[in-house]
Structure formats: structure tokens, C-alpha cells
Structure 1
């Protein structure tokens, strides 16, 4: 009897020790906290000259971070080509260079990773054109009236380049997984003085003007735009946060729409989703529309607030491959410093409400649908929970993400690098460079001029 108790005690001790080891390695027991990262303000100007020593040090740090943190930095161009591009850049950095030229040279290697989440930023507040652009079925257009420019003007040329040439050139500057994200980013980049200068589109560097050739009512017009002080990225982010989500009921068309521009899974958001679905039930609405056309990402957990309002007991969630490294361990707060771990797409239970919505669900997507916004659409698509309507999304359904932030030591350029690869719920739908809607509806030039939304108009007639 005594021996039995000894064996039981040993087994219990071993179990406890094994469990503690597992919890410790999983960073649950005595968890490692991430090192707080607060970037220094960027003071560098585009015209500032950089010495080779500064550039080579920053370049070495950038390469070290990307190669050690990213799950597969060579997946697009291959390791041999990656090495060739590195060596070519090393030669270019042996001579003094303007900060702007150095940034765009470094950015070539970052773009070569082929990951829209792995990005290099030069946050200088530069001058920009006071114009708004949009892409419609017919091509690149002016989106708002400004001076002699009119909403709906079809851009034939900027400087000496046609829109398709601009897209090609910008695809070498934009970290992207598809052309749709390049188009989305082009709407901002084509206003930036530094980008237009790099593309050789400045008409006159002294008075800083840009010449446009546009078509309006069958007539070709030559118009000039001048630079003014540009809004900062922080200004744009604050504007989004001020109107991050909202909803309305359209009883006439038996429709309720919830728009989500950024994914913030907080109490305010969850309460608003509940209020939205209460209004849906009170008004006996049979069509619910979740609009993520302008969603730039955030916390993917927001999807749970929607799913619990639907007759869904469970769904298949994303899988992930995690790349471990010393740098990632410091930034993310992980104990493991090497190797990878892979977690396949898995089933998750849903704690649904007592009286869930049983009507039709639609997800609206566009070229700006990105990151966690893309997740929402992909999860609904792969789990057959709703109909996707609109335009292709801005990143691939299976893609890299969960970024860590770094700052180059001399220039202060900000570097954001993915350390995970996420696999969509239904991998049999891959390969895909974007989530393509069940029902594709492209905005036209006429829609822009008339101020109509063809995607919402679709529901008026269905």
C-alpha cells in the first residue's frame, strides 16, 4: 500500500512539474512582459544629407530585424535575389545621399518582402497636393472639387505618366500583396511631394507645380496643381477614430447597416453592436449589412460581437505560424527565442444570444478593407455565414501580420515587421491575392459625379 502511495505521489509531482514547465514555456507562468517601445520624434528632412557610415548602420539594422523577425522574408523573390538586392544597395550607400533618396532605396528591399504589414515609414510632414483621388471603373479620377479641378475629372496623365504607368511605379514603392492595396495607397501617395519628385513628376522644382491632363465632358484640359502643407498621418488616424463605427436602420428597404472603419474591441463597440441588433429585431429587419469597405484593421476580436448575434454555434477561425526570435521575444513579450510553431485553423464556440438574428447577412468590402477588416470578411466567406458584396479587398486572405515596431538608429525611420503568418479558415480557397466578393460592384465615374453609392443601391433593387 505504501509503495502505491509513493508511486501516486511521484506521478503527481511529475505532473505538477510538467505542467509548470509547459506553462512557463508558454509564457503563462511568470510571464515575460514586452519591452515598451516609444519611438523618438523624427527630425530628419528629405533634403538632409546622410553619410555612408550612417546609412550602412541603419541598413544593417533593418536587414537584421527583417531577417530575424519575419516568418519568410524571401517568399516573394527568393533568397538569392534578396542577397543580390542587398549587395546592390550596399554599393549605393557608399556615397552620401539625401534622406529622401535613402528612404526610397531602403524601401525597395522592404517592398520586396511582399507583405503589406511589413512597412518602412519616413514620417516627415512634407508638402502635398490639395487634391483628392479615387479609382473607379474608368480609371483614376479627381474625387472632390478644388479650384479648376472638378469631381469626376478623368486623369489622363500626371506629368508625363499615364495612370497605368503610375500604378506600375507605385507597385515598387508600396508594400502590398495585390494591386488593389497599391491603388488604395496611391490615393494618398500621389499627393505627396516626395513621392511625386521620386517619380519625376514635378513640372518645375523651383515653384513646385504638377501638371495634370484630364478629360471632362469629352474635352481634354491641361491643369496645374500647387503644393501646400500636408496633413500628418496622425491627423488622418484621429479623424478615423472620431467616426470609428456607427449604424442606421432603413425600414423602407428592410435593411440595417453597421459600418466599421477600425476594429477596436472595447465596451463601447460591444454595446453599440447589441443596440444595433436590438433595433434590427424591434423593426423586424431581414437584411443586416456590415460595411468594412473603409476598415484599416485593428483587433480581430471584434468579430465575436457580431457572431454571437447570429444563429451560429461554432465557426472555423484563422490558423497561425509564429516565428520566434530574440527581437520578437523582447518586443512581444515571449519566452521562446528561436524556432517556429504552427497552429492550424480551429473550431471556436460562439456564446450566442438567446434570440439571434436569422435573416440575411451581407459584408461590404473594398480595396481599403485591410488586416482585421479583411479577417471579418474572410471568416464570413469561408464559414458561409454571409454574402460578400463590393470590390476585392486590400490584402490576401492568408497573409502575414501581427506586427512589431522598430526604429532605425540614425535616420529614425520607423520599421514595422510581421512575425506571424495567418492561414485562412478554409485553406482550400487558397491561393488568393485578395478576397473577391460573391457579388462584385465597381463604382463608376458617374456614381462619383452624382454622389451615389452603387453598392448600397444594389440593396434598393434586391
Structure 2
């Protein structure tokens, strides 16, 4: 398996909100020409960086026709706020159907501003209520049928026109986010109303309309008061890279992977001079529940290594000959794909290196990409012994080693090139798996995205069974964030620099990666809409000895 060290899907912050310096900036403080200049910079960056900026528009001519329409609208219909400008630019970008190409969401998050006190969860066929004011707790688990008089199909169509969505589950995800931000959701809430009407179908099959007023957000680190949530009756490990047996006999191991970030990738970024400070600070706030220490190097050393934790977990399984492993990727929005590769080697040894994943990955060399990896074009060509120029594609893939490559050489190349904090431990394996359970399961939901999606897919190709809700990530899509900032509004964003083809175009999973086992709404009702319903659904099957053969084998 040829290692692709630059499949670095940096979606750590992007799914919810990427803070922009231009937040709250009104158009009066910016000349219209400045907004047009920012949009032109976006268009130019898109053409220079994105692997295929034209197809989503119907071709290059129509790409520029649409760009000209947006440019004219900025001149004839001035933007009231920077968020208005972002909305128009995102409507333009939405034609790509690419969730890695986006602009910062400047609307209030749960930390500031006014919000709608509701949280929606994506299930197999729509959205259900996960949290709402305690006075309406009887409506928990209800299906969403519509909002403000619009049905679900109208709502999803609106989302597709204003957000970059890769498939239907991405539409559900974006709608759930917009539902919480009330009037800041753009044209969906035109009219300035302070109340949002939710059309619901209760678990008892009763149709009701719930009207919720906007409330002040609680601020960072604080929960909104008076909110009822779906129950969580389990006692599973909850921290990032925490693990443990789920049964007294020690036969079912569970590991929670909340992000594809760990010490391994931050050490790599530090050694190579990458900009990582904001990502490290985000990691500390969200996965260690504290602020980033002043000593950056010490802060990196304090992080868990994915390779080391995974090895410790497999040793614990091996000691008990545990047959079942559950890897929970729900809610995981991605990170660095290369740090998952050592864990696949630990699980499967040389078989992983020899497995043809059947995937292709085409990357465009651009100024923004080279800036991201802190390299000049000359240095890039020297390191990889290539002769690329700007605008060239790198036609890499993830194919298995051919029979002519000595396995020892392939193994050495993999280990030495791996993004791991424990290469010595990988060398010591000598091609043998540390431990291979009889049954490997992967839990996913619509938020399993980018590098987390890659992990689920590669495990599936190695024979794991995927359980849960389809990902909002399409298998055949654009990939990898390339950060940029607009010069006048200072709005931040990202542009994909690659395209991945994981499945044949005619495969039913090429746009929506359907898990092998998908719980139905009735299954959620059976488990009283528990927050861990997907896990309970799987554990019941494991207890009955039902271990299906996954389609990935």
C-alpha cells in the first residue's frame, strides 16, 4: 500500500464554525469595490487551487458567467454585513458540491449571539429532536417534517443552494446547524421573526407544531439552562482515544476516536514548519478541556499518540484473546489521514501493505498548497524527485505493493515514512499484526467526515463491518483543505486541492457510503432514543452472535 503522506484532510474546525476576522463588519465600512476585489480573489484562488472548479457549473464558460452574476449583484445590491457577503459567495461555491471548499461561518455559534434552543440529530431517513426546552421534553425523538411552513424537500433544496453539500446526509447536517441559528440562517428566515416554527411527527405518530423563540447563547463552556436531552444510559469511555472492555468477560473492546488528531501529526507539523498553533489550541479546548499551555513543545508532548494508544489497546485485547473490537468514529470531523495508517498496520500487518484499496487520489500543485506545506516548488520537486510546475496534477493512488517489490523493502518504506510517534514500535512488528480480532466494527454517523471517513473506508476494505448512519462525506469527492484569507473582509476559508475516487462511478455507494448495518427509526424508538442507540443496536447483534460479512471484503 503506497503511503500518501499529504492526504491531510484538515477539517478539525470547519464543520461547525471557522472564526473569521471580519465578523460583524458592516458594508458601510467597506467600499463595494473591496467586496468585489475579495470575490475576485476567491475566484482566482479557486481556479488556481481546486482540482476541478468548473464541472459543478457546467463548464468553464458557465463558471465565469455565474461569477460575473455574483460580481454584478455585489455592485447593484450592496451587502448589509460581511455575513451577507459570505452568503452570496457560499451560494456560488455551493455549485461545487464540495464540503472542503467553504468560507468561515460568521453567524453566531452556541457561544454568542441569539440562537434557537433546539438540537437535531441525523438518523437514517431524516432529522429527529435531540434536545429542546424541558417544557417540551415529550417531543424528544420526534421527526422533523418542516420549518416555518416549508417541507423537508424545500428545506434541503434551500440548504443545497446556500451550503456546499456532498450528499443528502450533508444536507441534513447543514440543515441541523442552520436550524439553531434562527434569523442568521439567511433567506430561510427572512422577515426578521424572533420565533421559529418546527413541524414535528412525535414517536406516537402525532403531528404537532412547536414554536420556539430565540434566546441568548450561554457562552463558551456553558450549557443552555432548562434544556432536556435524549437519555444516555451507557457508561462507555468518553474521552478522545479512551478505550475499555464493554463486558465483564473482556471479550468486546471499545475505543472512542473523536478526532483524527494526536501527538503524531502535531510533531510532524512542528518538525516541518507548518502553521499548527490554532489547531493545537482547538485540540486542547475541545478534547482536553483546558487552554493551551504556554510551552508549545511541552503541550505537544503531553498529547496522546494514536499509534501508542492503539498498540496498548490491542495488547489488552490480546491478553484476553478478545474477539471483537468496536471503533467509534461518530461525531469525528477528521484531521490527518496519515496517522490512521500505522493503526491499520498494527491490526493487519503486511496484509494491509499488500492490499489494493482500489482508490485514486489526484492533487493539484498550487501556490496555496505549497504555502500550506511550507515548501517551495523547487524544494517539493527535490524531495519527491519530480519535475512538477504550478498547475500540474500528482496522480497518486493507494494501490497495493506489486509482487515485484520485496516485502521487506515495502515494509521499511512504510514504517520510515509513517506519521507516527512510535516508529520503533512499528519496526518491531516485522510485518506481523500486533493483534487481529475476529470481528472489527466501525460506528459512523453523518458527522464522520474527511480523515475519519477515510479511516472507516479503509477499515471496511480490510474487512471491518460499518454500522450506523451514512457519512456526509462522499467517497468520490474533492478533498483536503487549503487555507486562505480574503484580503479586505479578512474572512477565512479553505479550498480543496485534490479529488479522490474511492469507488466506481456506478457503485450505489459512490456518493453515499451506506453502512453495512443501519438502524431504523423503529430501532431508535426501541432503545428509547438513547444517545448511544447505534452502539446498543450493534451490541445486541454481537450478543446474539450475529456477525455479518461486510461488503468491503
TM over 0.5: yes
Q: Is 2:200 the partner of 1:214?
A: yes
In 2, Cα distance between equivalents of 1:226 and 1:196 = 15
Residues 130, 361 of structure 1: alpha-carbon distance in 2 compared, 3 angstrom cutoff: same
Report deviation, 1:250: 2.1
CA contact (8 A) 2:49 2:364 kept: yes
Name the structure with the higher strand share.
Answer: 1
Q: Is 2:45 the partner of 1:45?
A: no
Instruction: Determine the structure 2 residue equivalent to 1:98.
Output: 80
Q: Is 2:321 the partner of 1:340?
A: no
Residues 265, 301 of structure 1: alpha-carbon distance in 2 compared, 3 angstrom cutoff: farther
Q: Is 2:241 the partner of 1:245?
A: yes
TM-score, with structure 2 as normaliser? 0.68
Residues 407, 446 of structure 1: alpha-carbon distance in 2 compared, 3 angstrom cutoff: same
Match of 1:225 among 204, 212, 237: 212
Match of 1:456 among 536, 539, 546: 536
Residue deviations 1:433-460, cap 9 Å, x none?
1322223334555157442514432332
CA contact (8 A) 2:349 2:433 kept: no
Residues 316, 230 of structure 1: alpha-carbon distance in 2 compared, 3 angstrom cutoff: farther
Residues 212, 310 of structure 1: alpha-carbon distance in 2 compared, 3 angstrom cutoff: closer
Instruction: Give secondary structure in 2 for the equivalent of 1:55.
Output: helix
CA contact (8 A) 1:143 1:448 kept: no
Instruction: Determine the structure 1 residue equivalent to 2:489.
Output: 411
Residue deviations 1:152-194, cap 9 Å, x none?
2333332111223211211222212211122123222211134
Q: Which moved more, 1:180-189 or 1:324-333?
A: 324-333
TM-score, with structure 1 as normaliser? 0.80
Q: Which moved more, 1:365-374 or 1:224-233?
A: 224-233
Match of 1:369 among 422, 433, 448: 448
Match of 1:293 among 330, 352, 366: 330
Matches within 5 A, 1:379-458: 379-382=458-461, 384-424=462-502, 432-444=510-522, 446=525, 449-451=528-530, 453-458=533-538
Q: Is 2:271 the partner of 1:274?
A: no
Instruction: Determine the structure 2 residue equivalent to 1:68.
Output: 48
Report deviation, 1:89: 1.0
Q: Which of these two proteins has the greater Rg computed from alpha carbons?
A: 1
In 2, Cα distance between equivalents of 1:266 and 1:82 = 41
In 1, Cα distance between equivalents of 2:330 and 2:453 = 9
Structure 1 regions of 5+ residues with no counterpart? 1-38, 237-241
Q: Which moved more, 1:106-115 or 1:253-262?
A: 253-262
In 2, Cα distance between equivalents of 1:82 and 1:282 = 59
Residues 261, 442 of structure 1: alpha-carbon distance in 2 compared, 3 angstrom cutoff: farther
Report deviation, 1:68: 0.8
In 1, Cα distance between equivalents of 2:346 and 2:368 = 40
Report deviation, 1:406: 1.0
Report deviation, 1:284: 2.4
Structure 2 regions of 5+ residues with no counterpart? 1-17, 224-237, 265-303, 378-388, 402-409, 412-425, 547-553
In 2, Cα distance between equivalents of 1:368 and 1:143 = 15
Residues 371, 94 of structure 1: alpha-carbon distance in 2 compared, 3 angstrom cutoff: same
Residue deviations 1:344-403, cap 9 Å, x none?
333365654565224211222221111011111211223x33222222222122332222
Instruction: Give secondary structure in 1 for the equivalent of 2:260.
Output: coil
Q: Is 2:207 the partner of 1:128?
A: no
Residue deviations 1:125-147, cap 9 Å, x none?
34221211113356432112414
Report deviation, 1:219: 4.1
In 2, Cα distance between equivalents of 1:135 and 1:379 = 24
Instruction: Determine the structure 2 residue equivalent to 1:149.
Output: 136
In 2, Cα distance between equivalents of 1:82 and 1:105 = 15
Match of 1:320 among 338, 349, 361: 361
Aligned positions, number? 415
CA contact (8 A) 2:443 2:534 kept: no
